[in-house]
Chain A
Amino acid sequence: MAGAGTDTIIDSELMQFAPLIILLPMLAFPVILFLGRVFNRNPFWKDTMKEGGIIALVVMASSLIISLLLIKDHLGGFASMKDSVDFLWLNSSVYESGNLTSISFGFGIYIDHITVMLLFVASFLCLLINIFSIGYMNTDPINDNRNHRFYAEFVLFCSGMLGMVLADSFLWLFIFWEIMGLCSYLLIGFYYEKPSAAYAAKKAFLTTRIGDVFLIIGLVMMWDMFGSLDYDVIFSAVEDETFMAGVSSSTLQWALGLMFIGAVGKSAQFPLHVWLPDAMEGPTPVSALIHAATMVNAGLYLVARMFPFFGSEYLQHDLVDLAFIIALIGGITAVMAAAIAFVQHDLKKVLAYSTMSQLAYIFTGLGCAMFLANTLDWQTDADAHYIVIVAFGAALFHLFNHAMAKGMLFMASGSVIHEVHHAHHHLHHHDDHHDDHGNHDEGHEEEFDAQSMDNMGGLASKMPLTATAMLVGSASIMGLPLIGGFWSKEGIIANAWRVALEDPRFFLPAMCVLVGAAMTGFYMSRMWLKTFAGKPKTEVAAHVGQTNTWIKIPLFVLTFVTLSAILFAGMGFTHWAPDSEYGLLSEKNLFDGIAYEMSHAFANGDTFFFILTYVAIAIGAVLGPGIALSLYGGSLAEGEKVKPWMKPIIRLNAWVYDRYNFDNQAIANSGLSRALENRLYFDHYYDMAMLKIVAGFSDKSAETDKNVVDGVIKKIETGTQSISKVVRSMTTGSARDYILMVAVGTLGIFFLLWGVA
């Protein structure tokens, strides 16, 4: 039935314009760079054009508009909603064993359910973060006269992300994937004069490169098996019985596994997670865009793209191990990153670890969905079909919720950091305003850390919009009932346990995501309370002001998107799974859908899942935040007023804090806590391994190079010299001899040809 229905190919006229979504930002890249060089320090360029920010804004807005029009054409219920258009690039003919086969290389646009969702996330967040950047980057004197570099790299990155989402083959996916990697490197190292930033940029680039090497090996294996990297070709091949008979499922599993390592690197999962926290050295908009909302989703997208392999009926039960590994990596990272987030003092670092942890949830969700697709007879059984696409949809829905919430959280944290920094600046340099800004910034950066939560506190009354945005974002990440992340997180946990009941191996990831929910509740609450509740911990925090309008717009918009995620839940996130026959709004109407989700989540007929839901809510929304409430925050300073919707939380916090506060010094000083502060020594051991293995290997290869390679080269060199000495004596320099040689040579050729004839 479902899925096997008629394939509806949508023929959207707008497909012809789809490449513009990628091309506009890509073309804006050189334009902004060039104009930035030419008009640097020009007042019009600086104040009105925001050093290229406005050009980027126009370009990203156009991309968003085209994307939305394209998405609109692709909403609806279809058994197989796939649309593609090809732009031929070059055609090469290969003559192989008597057959002339023609291979076309070209760029194409491929749109299905996953594309639609990610295209919206990417283009929407790119625009909002662009608006935020104008408020964040252009108001800090440290960035003056080099913001054009930021915007140029920014638009190039956006073009990479949008291109990766829209591309129609794994090859183009890889190309855009690398463009993003490059931009990530450039943007993390935006403050390249800071050694830590330069180091972080290198670390991010090299760590993801490890994954990319495996990814390209996987792609080569795919090419070997399928003779193409186009989605169309591969995905129809896996449904072809005769073709699949000639494919070794274990080789395919290896290829997919290697590609998954690429995804692990890009999405900062264990054990290639070490780059993401350091990447916070980049400007906050970069953290928001690349390291929270878009680029880290590339790995998830790649795994989601593998769904047809797992769903193929000719590979049933063959890819279970890979599904388990995906879920396991997710489970481990979810708990590990959450634990490290417990002890971080840097606001952005908490968010970075939270990002790793939440991405890990999505990996676990995808792994479980893949397991279900690979074991259930989902193409013919309607119930199984629904289970699979709900599991898959839940993972992608969490991707959506997380991207929106985490983008917003990073922007809110940027807003806090920005204002704390300004307040600090204002407070300490009030008298000597005329001095050079740069010197002061560097001089005081050492003493005062504008990102440390230990310097904040009590900001809820000073930055109401930022505090609200942060609250909603945290609630969504924590999965407080009824808010965005709750629906998707419930889905992931429930499906992980559903799978664990079938395959005991999955018990570990399932346990991890359940425990991770409580940990998320703790560290997100801790972050919010340390920043916004309690009394200001420093004089600076007491003088923080409101943010500017550019920063407020995206915070405001995203707060509502996050709050309204229940609508998406009601519309059925089943829409987002590939091969879903459900369209947006076509399955049930909105209110029925919400009612269904409500009853499904809170009054599940199955006792196990009924209890599981309430256990998850109890530990994620009560236990974790409860401990945080008793440890951090407290009542605000006298006379401070907060917005009415934050009042109950502040009151509750003050009450719990006064009543149940306990001394956690013993825990804070324990070895585990220290280990967590040192990020479980991963960086330490990686560095040591690098030193031992790589440096040792380099020494050996240097010796080999010197003795063996250079020796051979030197021998060749001296040999050639002595031969050339002999040959040189033949060149007499006399024209007569040359004429003779030509004559003899011609005669030789003549006789040679004669002999042949």
Chain B
Amino acid sequence: MIDPAWVSALSAILFIIGLGGAFTRKNAIIVLMCIELMLNAANMQFAAAAVHHGDPTGWVYTIFAIAIAASEVAIGLAIFLAMYGKHETISLDDVDVLRN
């Protein structure tokens, strides 16, 4: 069996990739994907912790987080659709209506 420490490390790498992507990309859909990546990294960390502690609570959290992530993606995509309808772009650099 794989040592949970490796899984933890993998989750950390995934998280940093996601974070970097979220900072640097300007396409909203890719940013959303990066955020999903970070979320999954967190899920993986839960799973690793569950194995490490021998406590199934971590698994349960993972299942919950996946379910919530699914609905969150749906909301995110709906926002982008609305954004596109209004601004005709989904580039994050071009949309700054909340400025000041």
A interface residues, Cβ below 8 angstroms from B = 728-729, 731-736, 739-740, 743
Contacts and interface: CB of A to CB of B under 8 A. Distances in A.
Contact of B100 (A729, A736, A739, A743): A729
B31 interface: yes
B23 interface: yes
A736 B23 contact: yes
B19 A733 contact: no
A732 B99 contact: yes
Contact of A735 (B19, B31, B100): B31
Interface in B20-61: 22-23, 26, 28, 31
Contacts of A743: 19
Interface in B61-94: 92-93
B41 to A, nearest CB: 14
B3 interface: no
Nearest to B99: A733
Interface of B: 19, 22-23, 26, 28, 31, 92-93, 95-100
A16 B23 CA distance: 72
A729 B99 CA distance: 8
A-side interface mostly: helix
A733 B92 contact: no
Contact of A733 (B23, B28, B31, B97): B97
A735 B96 CA distance: 8
Given A733-B99, A735-B31, A736-B23, 9 more contacts: A728-B100, A732-B99, A734-B96, A735-B95, A736-B26, A736-B93, A739-B22, A740-B23, A743-B19
A736 B92 contact: yes
Contacts of B22: 739
Nearest to B24: A736
A735 B92 contact: yes
Contact of B98 (A729, A733, A736, A739): A733
7 contacts: A731-B99, A732-B99, A733-B98, A736-B26, A739-B22, A739-B31, A743-B19
A725 to B, nearest CB: 9
A631 B73 CA distance: 100
Contacts of A734: 92-93, 96, 99
4 closest Cβ pairs, A-B complex: A733-B96, A733-B99, A733-B98, A735-B92
A740 B24 CA distance: 11
Contacts of B31: 735, 739
Nearest to B93: A734
A731 B98 contact: yes
B96 A732 contact: yes
A651 B31 CA distance: 111
Nearest to A730: B100
Nearest to B25: A736
Contacts of B96: 732-734
Given A734-B92, A734-B93, A739 B23 contact: yes
A737 to B, nearest CB: 9
Contacts of B26: 736
Contacts of B97: 733
Nearest to B96: A733
A678 to B, nearest CB: 69
A282 B42 CA distance: 76
A739 B26 CA distance: 12
A739 B21 CA distance: 11
A730 to B, nearest CB: 9
